[in-house]
Structure 1
């Protein structure tokens, strides 16, 4: 018999799982069909499509983990099944985070305007810089996943010692080492967080300065170009908030091993993670001209069409 907490958690995860698959599936289908028809795809569309595809994989992994939390929590941290989930989760999640970082760097180099020589050098080579980041992200994701082998060895030693008498202190030390290794695994995410924060900050700074300049030389606040810049700033700020919320979920999930209410902490972390996978993908659709136009065209009403002559940032 499920309790109230488990029941609500199951309803939320099922809802977010369905919405997440619909939203990310929409991105994959639109960009995939455009790629198939035109036989070419822009770098930004490739990153967005890859990100949506990896998020679909993540949703399935998290949903499977959620079912284990609800129906078999006593086996959540044990067995080959959880090791397989850890491997798939680590690689998919780590590469997804780096895809977000690559996308933020690409937008920053394409949109932001700074006169610093280093920035101009990177801006002229934006595509090559981002492609290099993608290859580096793939390698780092593989290395991060391989680092789990050390955790599995510790867990194997911990499991084997449970059948041995007078090993209480050894088991306690091994369990502490295992939990510490699991928490330290999140350090792999710090470089991508720093890269994304720098890119978002530069974008907001550049757009903010550009908006102020346009307001000085335009009449009133209804100027379409200035409004487009303000809209872009809101989108970038939303990206940043969701991204920080995503990292908060990692902190909650990792620290859950050291909290008295471990199950509740994990439930909160899973809900935040799945909310991010849905909300951030919705922002990607709203911030991309092609995706938004296709989405609006699917609506039964004509509301939400962009005004003639209005600009959109993050267009393909």
Structure 2
């Protein structure tokens, strides 16, 4: 078990009030924290809208499409992730250590689960939209809808196993988080366990990221090639199909930027790049919550069915409030 030792104090100040800890944050950190809360509320609202729309469709039709099921699972995992991240920050700034290990494990579980769901979503879009003359791609294209439930179950199983491994180190991580926040010169002794866990964590994040990157790159190449072909056939007429392909490519590029930024922030957290409670740490938290928020909003706008149903739901709620 990792031990934390202070260079400047022999007694750890565990009785600090939340007010005194908040004074340590500063104005810039407070602003960043508020922006993080706003992003979380935006993300929870967007993901909640996705879940509500698909739940209403399920109750009406008594069935749910594979894409809607995948979107709903992704939205639910992101809601739990964002709420847990805010809860995690509240725990740090209140100094309540006893509940942090469970919170860390839940964050790791929901984060990895959401990354896998986002990865399978990119694979789903790639196989449904692109047309690649390869037997493996054609096989996947014909069976992806039937594979979605199994991919969801497999992601749950994989994330549960990795989280069970993380839980063995959760108490040590929580001690390090709290002591690093309270004691700026705190150092860790016996970093072997932390190093092994970091390698395992980075590997578990890299696998879905590589699959995601492969799927979106293939999709971008197909859309660009198809758009150029349409432009040659239309002789520069500027058909609506070309603008649709351009919008699709731009949205996919935004997915790559958001996913990559979230991936890098997760690695920075894993290797403890920034001191807990610092401005850099809070900025990383802000970037971490941007991905599940903005990505879900983009998903609503690029999905015509989801966009139409969400608009109808919001209009109905507005009329009901009048």
TM-score over 0.5 for the pair: yes
> Partner residue of 1:250?
266
2:285 is equivalent to residue 270 of structure 1: yes
Equivalent-residue separation in structure 2 for 1:230 and 1:199 (angstroms): 18
TM-fit CA distance, 1:9: 2.7
| Contact residue 154 and residue 178 of structure 1 kept, 8 A | no
* Residue number among 186, 193, 217 corresponding to 2:202 in the alignment: 186
Select between 221-230 and 204-213 the one with higher mean Cα deviation: 221-230
When residues 35 and 248 of structure 1 are mapped into structure 2, their CA distance, relative to the original with a 3 A threshold, is same
Aligned to 1:91: 109
Which residue does the alignment assign to 1:59? 82
Distance in 1, matches of 2:152 and 2:138, equals 21
- 1:293, distance to aligned residue in structure 2 (A): 2.0
Q: Distance in 1 between matches of 2:64 and 2:174?
A: 46
After TM superposition, give the deviation of residue 221 of structure 1 in Å: 4.4
Distance 1:149 1:15, change over 3 A: closer
Separation in structure 2 between the aligned mates of residue 157 and residue 82 of structure 1, nearest angstrom: 9
Separation in 2, partners of 1:68, 1:105:
37
| C-alpha distance in 1 between matches for 2:240 and 2:174 | 62
Alpha-carbon distance in 1 for matches of 2:91, 2:275: 20
Partner in structure 2 of residue 12 of structure 1: 35
Q: Deviations over 1:165-214 (max 9, x none)?
A: xxxxxx9542x234324422232111101110010011101111111111
Q: Do 2:29 and 2:279's aligned partners in 1 also have CA atoms closer than 8 Å?
A: no
Between 49-58 and 121-130, report the one with greater CA deviation.
Answer: 121-130
**Pair 1:290-2:290 in alignment:** no
- 1:211 paired to 2:234: no
1:144–1:70 CA distance, 2 compared to 1 (3 A): same
Q: Following TM superposition, by how much is the alpha carbon of 1:31 offset from its aligned partner in structure 2, in angstroms?
A: 1.2
CA shift at 1:141, angstroms? 0.4
* 1:125 counterpart SS class: helix
Deviation at 1:129, TM superposition (A): 3.7
| Contact 1:83/1:152 (<8 A) preserved | yes
Q: Which has the higher contact order (CA 8 A, sep 6+)?
A: 2
Which piece of structure 1 moves more, 261-270 or 8-17?
261-270
Written as runs of structure 1 = structure 2, the 5 A alignment for 1:1-316 is 2=23, 3-72=26-95, 79-152=97-170, 172-174=188-190, 176-184=191-199, 185-255=201-271, 257-259=272-274, 263-297=278-312, 298=314
Hey, what's the Cα distance between the residues in 1 that align with 2:263 and 2:274? 18
8 Å contact kept, 1:105–1:130? no
Number of residue-to-residue matches in the alignment: 281
In the alignment, is the contact (CA less than 8 A) between 2:53 and 2:306 conserved in 1?
yes
Alpha-carbon contact 2:122-2:215 (below 8 Å) kept: yes
3-state SS, counterpart of residue 147 of structure 1: helix
Which runs of 5 or more structure 2 residues have no equivalent in the other structure? Answer: 1-21, 177-186, 317-322
Q: Would the aligned equivalents of 1:101 and 1:195 in 2 still touch at CA under 8 Å?
A: yes
Contact (CA 8 Å) 2:130, 2:223: kept in 1 or not? yes
Shift of 1:296: 4.4
